[in-house]
Amino acid sequence: MAKFFGFLFDKKKENLQNIPVTPEADFADGSTIIEAGGSAQGYAIDLDTNLRSDIDLIRKYREISTHAEVEIAIDDIVNEAIVEDVEGKTVKLDLDYIKDISVATKKKIKEEFDNILYLLNFNHQGPELFRQWYIDGRMFHYSVLDENNPSEGIKKIIQIDPLKIKKNNRN
């Protein structure tokens, strides 16, 4: 028998009322009630039970993101992650520290980067793209090139739903 912070711990069943932790409830979804002071109450969810694939994980993440508290937290994260500089830009490509490529090549890379931002409509859709990536944990795009003139660069970018992507396990 031990006394710790005013609580009496004993292996005997009759002293269970002195334990400062409530017994675990057995919920079907793996969640447990976490009681806090006042009128606050929370839930802990075990995400790894019965999830067999990435698709199951993405569906679970999307489901969780619809809860009010989680949605507010995600909004706070997106608002803190996507910020504009004094010029109103949210992302910038800095190639100043790369010494192995020519100035002309750097210029082409920057032009294509700006083209990708334009095609993604990143100035307006950036926060939503980040939100989707943050919730799903992955994001896929298909780049469309002109087959007759690939040197013109990317012509269109098509976003692909991660639920439609499957791993190819070829060796």
Which residue did the predictor score with more confidence, 3 or 33?
A: 3
Distance of alpha carbon 134 from alpha carbon 24, whole angstroms: 31
Is the confidence at residue 30, as pLDDT, over 80?
no
- End-to-end CA gap in the chain: 59
Number of domains in the chain: 2
Kindly state whether residues 93 and 143 are assigned to the same domain: yes
Identify whether residues 103 and 124 lie together within a single domain. yes
Is pTM beyond 0.85? Reply is no
What digits encode the pLDDT tens for the residues 76-130?
A: 999 999 888 888 888 889 998 988 899 999 999 999 999 999 999 998 899 999 9
pLDDT in tens, 125-166: 999 999 999 999 999 999 998 888 888 888 999 999 998 887
| CB-CB neighbours of 31 under 10 Å | 13
Same domain assignment for residues 77 and 24: no
Same domain, 41 and 65: no
Q: Is 162 exposed, middle or buried (0-12, 13-18, 19+ CB in 10 A)?
A: buried
Which structural domain, as residue segments, surrounds residue 63?
51-171
